[in-house]
Amino acid sequence: MQLNKEEVGFIGKWAKVKEGGQWRYIITRGLLWGVLVGIFSKLFQAWDALEAWDTAALAEAYTSSDFFIRLLIYSTIGLGIHAYHWNANTKRYNQLKNMERRSQTVTASAKD
């Protein structure tokens, strides 16, 4: 069974990601996701202040303890999501590599 272009592309991309390491992947992507979601969720919550161009209310919204707790919660969720993604992608990578090896073995034995 031959791998399709998408599968071959995934193998190449994931091999590069794996070189960076598991913790780098989880922390950088998980924290980035958590910070972005935290900022945008607070922005949507403070929409009235934004529409009124009330910069003092916006500044207060982003310096409150509620905002920092929100960042902590979303960052923790992001870390969990990306840890799951790491495991799922590594499992898929290993399966595709095994399929690729079997395919190469069958092709090599057919040539003999």
pLDDT value of residue 98: 94
Q: By 3-state DSSP, what share of the chain in percent is helix, strand and coil, each rounded to 5?
A: 90, 0, 10
Of residues 103 and 76, more confidently modeled: 76
Whether the predicted pLDDT of 112 surpasses 70: no
Model pLDDT for residues 32-42, shown as the tens digit of each residue: 999 999 999 88
List the chain domain ranges: 5-105
Q: What is the pLDDT of residues 40-95, one digit of tens each?
A: 988 888 887 777 777 787 788 788 888 999 999 999 999 999 999 999 999 999 99
User: Cα–Cα distance between 89 and 14 in angstroms, integer?
Assistant: 8
Is the predicted pLDDT of residue 26 greater than 90, yes or no? yes
Range list of β-strands (E), the chain: none
